[in-house]
């Protein structure tokens, strides 16, 4: 069979959305990938294999039977939940929101337990930020806080940040300083000019002291030797001086900041710090979004409902209340009596209490591959894989939207088609 080479393909693993991949397709199968990290390569080579069976209550079923069963479960529920979406296209997200609206159900996505606190912090203080190309072209200082891209966003350094050669950073790494704040040495911190190994849970305190230093406020109880987050104050002064003297700094923050003690307050204080620094020079912050389109979830949810996550339609219009309408809390309280899950694997990601709650109610799952959830879900619908056998839009961690192409055929429908089918059937069921 001839090999077809597809260029400029988008990787769908992490929020960095590298879009320069070269995929070699033979016999409707990806056989080789170039310009890709180890994780992306694995995903591209195996993302469309290992399809689950289409099943209803454990029995092999046709798609029509699965759609009917799903619509019935959802239409009969009093408090259904529509959840997931972090690895599917924005177009499917748009129909997902509509389905939740028609069902008067709950609606949440995976940012609920990853970068959600950062999204909440943005509601408090905003976010001065930039696109990744600005980091590449201009940043002469990059800071990673609670993030380890060498293992999570493997091409981030070379494409966008530490080593990237840009317009005003033609020498790449040599034109930049790099600082890392983390609780332990990581493969990323090994590359850093400055590494701050901090006490777990001290991020808020550190950001507060850094703000005081930036704003030149007195710190009468501290001396240069005083430890702030386990690091002497003098070293933090060093970081502040570096920031003040740079031309353009980007602080990339990860789950180490958003999910450690303080959560959204940590991010809020970091954003305030970054805002304060702009009286001297350009300093921005950017979340290191994990799942490739988890930002797209927030984007679509916001433009259709006004809120990024943790939404309820039970009064017919969108309401937002994290803690009340977040997926984990809803499940733990037993507030959900049917769930449709799209493009995520709750059995692998959620606490076991929430998973147990899901197991007790009718659960529908759409997944391109077998997962821990497809093992027991009441309805399992295999779908095409976004970016390989399904086209659509993903939103990068810096809000830049990129269109995924379809390069191989798949016998199964896309998430979008499945959701539309279920939506039509729910509407019909509600009419009668």
> Which residues would be at the binding site for another protein (CB under 8 A)?
7-8, 10, 19-20, 90, 94, 98, 101-102, 104, 119, 122-134, 136-138, 159-160, 165-167, 247-248, 275, 278-282, 284, 298-299, 302-308, 313, 315-318, 320, 391, 393, 395, 399-403
Nearer to another protein, 236 or 395 (CB): 395
Question: How wide is the angle at C-alpha 20 spanned by C-alphas 394 and 162, nearest 5°?
Answer: 90
Q: Minimum CB separation from another protein for residue 32, in Å?
A: 19
Q: What are phi and psi of 416, to 5 degrees?
A: -60, -45
Nearer to another protein, 129 or 189 (CB): 129
CA torsion 264-12-310-262 (nearest 10°) is -10
Nearer to another protein, 16 or 408 (CB): 16
- Cβ atoms of residues 191 and 157 within 8 Å: yes
- Cβ atoms of residues 215 and 240 within 8 Å: no
Nearer to another protein, 167 or 348 (CB): 167
Hey, how many other C-beta atoms are within 10 angstroms of the C-beta on 1?
A: 9
Q: Minimum CB separation from another protein for residue 93, in Å?
A: 10
Q: Minimum CB separation from another protein for residue 156, in Å?
A: 11
Q: Minimum CB separation from another protein for residue 220, in Å?
A: 25
Q: Minimum CB separation from another protein for residue 357, in Å?
A: 27
Q: Minimum CB separation from another protein for residue 325, in Å?
A: 13
Nearer to another protein, 132 or 339 (CB): 132
Nearer to another protein, 65 or 329 (CB): 329
Which contacts of 324-332 are long-range, i.e. CB under 8 A and separated by 24 or more positions? Answer: 325/106, 325/107, 325/108, 326/108, 326/112, 326/113, 326/116, 327/81, 327/83, 327/106, 327/108, 327/112, 327/113, 327/354, 328/112, 328/113, 328/354, 330/81, 330/106, 330/108, 331/81, 331/357, 331/358, 332/357
Task: Give the span between the Cα atoms of 234 and 232, in whole angstroms.
Answer: 5
Nearer to another protein, 34 or 124 (CB): 124
Question: How wide is the angle at C-alpha 351 spanned by C-alphas 151 and 86, nearest 5°?
Answer: 55
Q: Minimum CB separation from another protein for residue 96, in Å?
A: 13
Q: What are phi and psi of 193, to 5 degrees?
A: -75, -40
CA neighbor of 143 nearest in space, from 75, 201, 207: 207
- Cβ atoms of residues 417 and 149 within 8 Å: no
Q: Minimum CB separation from another protein for residue 165, in Å?
A: 8
- Cβ atoms of residues 258 and 265 within 8 Å: no
Nearer to another protein, 68 or 91 (CB): 91
């Amino acid at each position: 069979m001839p090999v077809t080479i597809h260029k400029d393909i988008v990787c769908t693993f992490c929020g960095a959305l590298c879009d320069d991949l070269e995929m070699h397709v033979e016999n409707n199968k990806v056989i080789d990938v170039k310009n890709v990290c180890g994780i992306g390569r694995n995903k591209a080579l195996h993302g469309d294999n290992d399809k689950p069976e289409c099943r209803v209550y454990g029995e092999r079923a046709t798609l029509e039977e699965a759609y009917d069963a799903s619509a019935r479960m959802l239409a009969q529920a009093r408090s259904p939940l529509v959840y997931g979406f972090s690895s599917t296209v924005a177009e499917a997200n748009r129909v997902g929101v509509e389905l939740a609206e028609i069902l008067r159900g709950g609606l949440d996505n995976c940012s609920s337990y990853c970068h959600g606190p950062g999204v909440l912090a943005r509601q408090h203080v905003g976010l001065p930020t930039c696109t990744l190309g600005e980091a590449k072209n201009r940043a002469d200082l990059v800071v990673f806080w609670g993030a380890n891209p060498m293992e999570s966003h493997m091409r981030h350094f070379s494409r966008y940040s530490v080593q990237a050669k840009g317009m005003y950073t033609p020498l790449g790494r040599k034109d930049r300083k790099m600082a890392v704040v983390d609780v332990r040495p990581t493969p990323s911190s090994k590359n850093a000019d400055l590494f701050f190994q901090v006490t777990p849970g001290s991020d808020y305190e550190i950001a507060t002291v850094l703000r005081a230093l930036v704003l030149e406020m007195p710190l009468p109880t501290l001396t240069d030797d005083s430890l702030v987050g386990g690091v002497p104050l003098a070293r933090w002064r060093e970081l502040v001086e570096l920031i003040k003297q740079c031309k353009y700094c980007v602080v990339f923050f990860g789950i180490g900041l958003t999910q450690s003690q303080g959560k959204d307050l940590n991010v809020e204080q970091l954003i305030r710090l970054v805002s304060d620094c702009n009286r001297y020079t350009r300093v921005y912050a950017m979340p290191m979004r994990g799942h490739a389109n988890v930002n797209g979830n927030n984007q679509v949810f916001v433009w259709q409902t006004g809120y990024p996550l943790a939404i309820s339609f039970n009064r017919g219009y969108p309401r937002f209340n994290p803690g009340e309408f977040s997926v984990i809390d809803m499940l733990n309280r037993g507030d959900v009596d049917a769930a449709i899950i799209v493009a995520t694997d709750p059995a692998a990601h959620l606490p076991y209490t929430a998973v147990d709650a899901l197991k007790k109610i009718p659960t529908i799952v759409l997944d391109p591959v077998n997962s821990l959830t497809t093992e027991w879900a009441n309805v399992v619908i295999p779908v095409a894989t976004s970016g390989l056998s399904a086209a659509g839009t993903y939103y990068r961690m810096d809000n830049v939207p990129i269109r995924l192409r379809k390069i191989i055929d798949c016998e199964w429908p896309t998430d979008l088609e499945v959701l539309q089918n279920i939506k039509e059937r729910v509407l019909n069921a509600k009419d009668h």
